[in-house]
């Protein structure tokens, strides 16, 4: 068997096209331009690239965007003050503090300072609570909740490729707040039977082989070999690992695609969805000021 390749790049483009169309409508009918503010602390080259790419996406969709750059040695209070400034700025519907922050700044404190309605990364405990307390995916969609971008992107990929989730066994390897935990929560809302695995899980390969949907969000190059995969399973690879051979995922893609039913490549799979879902969240946050319905 050779797996169907899940093309995150093309689905991502679809999401952006839709967001662009809806943004034009929002501007014409309500005079509202979705706005996204970035707070970038220090000179981390990866963070610079991420913010640049997100800014470009804003431009291509016709969003307003603004970046507040702060030096590495900025005080925690100054970062909090900037968050407050954007909380009050009516042009700004979404605030993104690019992580990681320097060690002397408490990331939780900064996230909690963001107005939950503008928390387009969906990392604020209030937003985590809202989607966690929801009884179903339909309720999440109906309430137009902000969802963490990468896990949200995975749910969209599963939908677009018609991969059944309800009643299926899902195993998520990795339990970070940004990756594994919200992914497990969203799969649960779609009625999967979810197992969360991590570095202390015994006989991980056997646990993974039970999965109809296997999500790897670990940060270890090619860690998931074909021995971890149930024939026909959907394998979603969140890992982004820079190696001498280039960018690779957490899954040994070449071997895994011979046994999986569906698989995301790296790059061009899950990672390609993240910025689009950020744009979608920002649009969603902007529509809350007008009650505009969204798809």
Alpha helices in 107-179 (DSSP H): 107-113, 125-133, 137-142, 149-160
* Mask for 144-163, x = binds ligand NAP (CB under 6 A): ------x-------------
Q: Looking at beta carbons only, is 74 or 238 nearer to ligand NAP?
A: 238
Stretch binding ligand NAP (CB under 6 A), from 24-32, 136-144, 172-180, 184-192: 172-180
Stretch binding ligand NAP (CB under 6 A), from 23-31, 107-115, 233-241, 277-285: 233-241
Are 120 and 96 a contacting pair, CB within 8 Å?
A: yes
Q: Is 7 a catalytic residue?
A: no
User: What pairs with residue 214 in β-bridges?
Assistant: 171, 235
**Residue 248 Cα distances to 12, 193, 294, angstroms:** 19, 28, 35
Alpha helices in the chain (DSSP H): 8-30, 45-61, 76-88, 107-113, 125-133, 137-142, 149-160, 180-189, 204-208, 253-256, 274-287
* Size, binding site for ligand NAP by CB under 6 A: 24
Closest separation in Å from C-beta 1 to ligand NAP: 26
Closest separation in Å from C-beta 207 to ligand NAP: 10
Closest separation in Å from C-beta 81 to ligand NAP: 27
Q: Give 227-247 as a 3 state SS string.
A: HHCCCCCEEEECCCEEECCEE
Pick out residues in 235-264 that bind ligand NAP (CB under 6 A). 238-241
Q: Which of 147, 270, 277, 284 binds ligand NAP (CB under 6 A)?
A: 270
| Helical (H) or strand (E) element with 195 | strand 193-197
Choosing from 54, 118, 181, 190, which is the catalytic residue? 54
117 DSSP 8-state letter: G
Q: Looking at beta carbons only, is 115 or 271 nearer to ligand NAP?
A: 271
Pick out residues in 31-60 that bind ligand NAP (CB under 6 A). none
Is 62 a binding residue for ligand NAP by CB under 6 A? The answer is no
* Mask for 205-224, x = binds ligand NAP (CB under 6 A): ------------xxxx----
Nearest to 53 by CA among 16, 102, 90: 16
**Per this entry, what is the length of the chain?**
295
- Burial of residue 271 (CB within 10 Å: 0-12, 13-18, 19+) is buried
Choosing from 115, 119, 121, 250, which is the catalytic residue? 121
Give the residue numbers annotated as catalytic, written as ranges. 54, 98, 121
| Residues found near ligand NAP in the complex (CB under 6 A) | 150, 173-176, 178-180, 198-201, 204, 217-220, 238-241, 270-271, 274
């Amino acid at each position: 068997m050779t797996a169907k390749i899940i093309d995150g790049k093309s689905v991502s483009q679809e999401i952006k096209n839709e967001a662009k169309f809806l943004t034009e409508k929002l501007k014409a009918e309500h005079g509202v331009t979705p706005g996204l503010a970035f707070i970038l602390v220090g000179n981390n080259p990866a963070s610079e690239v991420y913010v640049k790419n997100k800014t470009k996406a804003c431009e291509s969709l016709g969003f307003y965007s603004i970046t507040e750059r702060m030096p590495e040695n900025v005080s925690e209070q100054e970062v909090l003050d900037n968050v407050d400034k954007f909380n009050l700025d009516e042009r700004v519907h979404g605030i993104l503090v690019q992580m990681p922050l320097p060690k002397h700044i408490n990331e939780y404190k900064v996230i909690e300072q963001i107005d939950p309605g503008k928390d387009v990364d969906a990392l604020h405990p209030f937003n985590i609570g809202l989607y966690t307390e929801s009884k179903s995916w339909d309720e999440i969609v109906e309430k137009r909740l902000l969802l963490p971008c990468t896990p949200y992107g995975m749910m969209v990929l599963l939908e677009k490729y018609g991969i059944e989730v309800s009643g299926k066994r899902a195993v998520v390897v990795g339990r970070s707040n940004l990756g594994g935990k919200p992914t497990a929560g969203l799969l649960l809302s779609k009625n999967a039977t979810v197992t969360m695995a991590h570095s202390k899980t015994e006989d991980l390969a056997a646990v993974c082989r039970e999965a109809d949907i296997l999500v790897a969000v670990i940060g270890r190059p090619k860690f998931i070999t074909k021995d971890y995969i149930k024939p026909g399973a959907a394998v979603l690879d969140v890992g982004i690992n820079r190696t001498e051979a280039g960018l690779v995922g957490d899954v040994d893609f070449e071997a895994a695609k011979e046994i999986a039913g569906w698989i995301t490549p790296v790059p061009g799979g899950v990672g390609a969805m993240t910025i689009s879902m950020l744009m979608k969240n920002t649009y969603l946050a902007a529509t809350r000021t007008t009650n505009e319905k969204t798809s």
